[in-house]
Structure 1
Amino acid sequence: MTAELSVQLYSVRDALDADLPGTLDRLAGLGFENVELFGFTDRVDEYRTALANAGLTALSAHASLAEGDAERALDAAAALGVRTLIDPMIRHGWETADGVSAIAERLGQIAAQAQPLGIEFGYHNHTWEFESEIDGRNAFDVFTDQLDPAVVLEIDTYWAEVGGQSAPALLARLGDRVRLLHIKDGPRTTDASAQQPAGSGDMPVKEILAAAPRAVRVIEFDAYAGDIFDGIAQSLRFISGLEA
């Protein structure tokens, strides 16, 4: 079975602000069938129409639930047929064992809210979860040990690597808990503007994909110095070529 491919719409946020329907049409024209939403809770009707017209499916979406209005985000995701809703970032609390426990508990509560709507709920990492240490272990490993199995994971493989992890080894440890991957490339730096199309930088993209063969591949750029649609197209060609 070939893993599904998607693109995080944050990558094209400026284009979306200027022309949401046209941007979705352009992504469909590149060959995408799926997208990952962000900032959708105030634009449900607009996205519903534009996604249908472009022939795109919102497999997943990002929304801040742990520190925001979880019920509103869940209702908006359900209205758009989102399969997996991801909290993209919890910045604080990773420094202590009690903080990590509180984060895991809160995410478990949200997963329970999501289940009756037919939505999986999960969490997306950055670097700081790996940079904080608790009793000789990184905070992310402590977190996943405590996490309710109903909470799934979207591993941002770039930020895991920048945070000092081997993304392929991390994925092997986590197994099927990982439902989605953020795939991006570039040097191991926190300077997002240095990000490059998949296959053009230092990330072990081939090994990452092999380590999570069933996870949805979500192409993303936090920033890009070139034409963003060209960068996305290059990433899509590289990943599709590896998995053809």
Structure 2
Amino acid sequence: MAIALLMAVGFSSFKSDKKKDIFIGLQLWSVKDDMQKDVPGTLAAVGEMGYKFVETAGYGDGKIYGLDPVEFKKLCKKSGLQFLGAHTGQAVPSKEKWDETMKWWDTCIAAHKAAGVKWIVQPFMDNVGYESLEGITRYCEYFNAVGEKCNAAGIRFGYHNHDKEFTTVFEGKPVYDWMLELTDPEKVMFQLDLYWIDHGGKNALDYFAQYPGRFELYHIKDEKELGESGKMDFKPTFEKRAQSGAKYGIVEVEGYNFEPLESCKKSLEYLKAQDYVDFH
């Protein structure tokens, strides 16, 4: 069943042709060592597992895992995968380094545009974002500027959380809430990591109710392979996808009981066994 990969005006969200449709992809950080050793072979293995797309974590100097972006896209296609998104970024610059950082983003965005990606997500902040309200305000202004650049290229810009955004509080409000309120929804979306929000002591459903439509991507993660810990219940977040705004789910495995590729395979098998996930 085809999914229409259309962007809303102003790039405010991804839209699919069916409310239940969702692609399931893999964040390649899950197999980072394999990607360092054998890019074509690793992509082929990921495609054989049944993942629909990949999200990269290997950008540098205009290249993806050391390859021309278009060549990397071709390798993905050969393996039955779409190259839809990327993790990369830069820490918030000082005033003196603002122009230099924006030039870095220009190169980064151009590379990913050439490969036809749908989103670029920054998966980190440095200490500036956690030290003061002024610091997180600086980050949000910066993210709005990057998001504007991405919009101009037809790419959605977003941020991926860990647990610290929920456990760090300014004026009675977690950093994550400040980010949601200080970023422009037209310029910045959020890739919600379902494991890290839970680990940070918060409930994703509360955020969906308070900030509907802001969470355009899910990172689906457990302590090791999906389902391994018995602690993560993904069903409620999938059932609230319409409210959250999520159109894509990305598996990320960072702890392993097996070799990384096998752990990623078992994680996908776990999702396929759940009646709340549709695969197309």
Structure 1 position 169 matched with structure 2 position 206:
yes
CA RMSD after TM alignment = 1.8
* Superposed CA offset, 1:93-114 (max 9, x none): 2231111111110000001111
Between the aligned residues of both structures, percent identity stands at 28
The residue matched to 1:229 in structure 2 has which SS? helix
- Where do 5+ consecutive residues of structure 1 fail to align? 187-194
The verdict on how the C-alpha distance between 1:199 and 1:170 changes in structure 2, with shifts beyond 3 A counting, is: farther
Partner of 2:53: 34
Counterpart in 2 of 1:18? 37
- Specify the code of the residue in structure 2 equivalent to 1:155: L
1:210 Cα offset (Å): 1.8
The residue number in structure 1 matching 2:122 is 87
Distance (Å, rounded) in 2 between the aligned partners of 1:156 and 1:134? 21
Counterparts of 2:192 and 2:42, CA distance in 1: 26
Q: Distance in 1 between matches of 2:33 and 2:85?
A: 20
Q: Deviations over 1:135-173 (max 9, x none)?
A: 111111012111111201101111111111113333343
Deviates most, 89-98 or 152-161: 89-98
Query: Cα offset for 1:66?
Result: 4.4
Q: Structure 2, unaligned stretches of length 5 or more? A: 1-17, 93-100
Contact map agreement 1:89 1:124 (CA 8 A) in 2: yes
Cα distance in 2 between the residues matched to 1:51 and 1:148: 32
Question: Which residue among 245, 259, 273 is the counterpart of 1:227?
Answer: 259
User: Given the alignment of the two structures, is residue 48 of structure 1 paired with residue 67 of structure 2, yes or no?
Assistant: no
| Equivalent residue number for residue 113 of structure 1 | 149
How far does residue 237 in structure 1 lie from its aligned partner after superposition? 2.2
What number of residue pairs does the alignment pair up?
236
1:175-232 deviation per Cα after TM superposition (whole angstroms, max 9, x unaligned) = 211111111113xxxxxxxx23236431121122222254311000123232222222
The residue identity in structure 1 corresponding to 2:160 is H
Matched residue type, 2:72: Y
Contact between 1:44 and 1:76, CA under 8 Å: does it hold in 2? no
Aligned mates of 2:83, 2:90 — CA distance in 1: 18
Q: Secondary structure at the match of 2:212?
A: helix
Corresponding letter in the other structure for 1:152: M
Cα drift, residue 57 of structure 1: 0.9
Partner of 1:134: 170
